[in-house]
Amino acid sequence: MISGAQQGWIEALQGYLGSGGLVMPVLVLVTIVLWYAIGCRWALLNRGSRKNVRVMIKRREDGRSKSLKGIVDMAVARGVTLARQQPEALRRRLDDAFGEFDADLRRYATTVTAMVAIAPLLGLLGTVAGMIETFRSLGDMTMFSQSGGIASGIATALFTTQMGLVVAVPGVIAKAFLDRRETQIAHDLEQIKDILVSGVEPQES
């Protein structure tokens, strides 16, 4: 059963969304898609162990590695197993074996980028729609009308702009953090390949 306070919050939210006009439902959809993609990307970009790549390879070769919890952990396990087979063209074999990890690093990145870019543009579209309504009301010299008049136009312009920024700014911050994590993991994967191909024995410090 919904309490009075919860009912008040629901009504306030409905009023806020209703004030944004036709653009607001689209912004809500963009918000849902954006944070779903960010959540999925966050789960995928799990490095696993925090140890140095050389240490991880050494521990794997010695059979002292624990459960595989992330991309780098699984890459080390797969790479060491492949290197023990001593195949020809090891680098190419590692590139093929790590293709799945490279795909995981890029998954949902385009969706996040697109949603972050779309949100402020939708806010701008709502602003333009609100200003059009405002100027139409001014032309008709109606402060209030059935559609809301000047007050409704200004509200639409302000609320959609605000919503667009509320969606975009945290999205940009989350995107930057995830992109940096992707870059670090990609660097670790390349380092694993270099170490295994060169045949250098990793030394635990």
What are 55's two structure tokens? 């240490």
Predicted pLDDT at 185: 93
Q: How far apart are CA 44 and CA 108, in angstroms?
A: 10
Predicted pLDDT at 205: 43
Predicted pLDDT at 45: 93
Q: In the block, which residue shows the tokens 């919860």?
A: 6
CB atoms under 10 Å from CB of 168, counted, come to 24
Predicted pLDDT at 52: 86
Predicted pLDDT at 132: 67
Q: How far apart are CA 69 and CA 60, in angstroms?
A: 14
Residues 90, 82 contacting (CB under 8 angstroms): yes
Instruction: Kindly give the parts of the chain with pLDDT less than 50.
Output: 143-147, 200-205
What are 146's two structure tokens? 């059935």
Angle ∠(85,86,92) on CA atoms, nearest 5: 105
CA dihedral 96, 98, 104, 109 (to 10 degrees): -80
Predicted pLDDT at 202: 43
Residues 130, 154 contacting (CB under 8 angstroms): yes
Summarised one tens digit per residue, pLDDT across range 114-151 is 999 999 888 888 777 777 666 666 665 554 444 455 55
Burial class from Cβ neighbours inside 10 Å (0-12, 13-18, 19+) for residue 50 reads exposed
Q: CA of 167: how far to CAs of 25, 30, 36, 85, 121, in Å?
A: 13, 8, 13, 50, 11
Predicted pLDDT at 177: 95
Q: CA of 103: how far to CAs of 6, 8, 190, 196, in Å?
A: 43, 45, 14, 21
Handedness of CA 125, 127, 131, 134 (dihedral sign): positive
Q: CA of 92: how far to CAs of 74, 79, 95, 124, 192, in Å?
A: 18, 12, 5, 48, 13
What are 69's two structure tokens? 């919890």
Predicted pLDDT at 35: 95
Summarised one tens digit per residue, pLDDT across range 44-60 is 999 888 888 888 888 88
Predicted pLDDT at 19: 63
pTM confidence score: 0.75
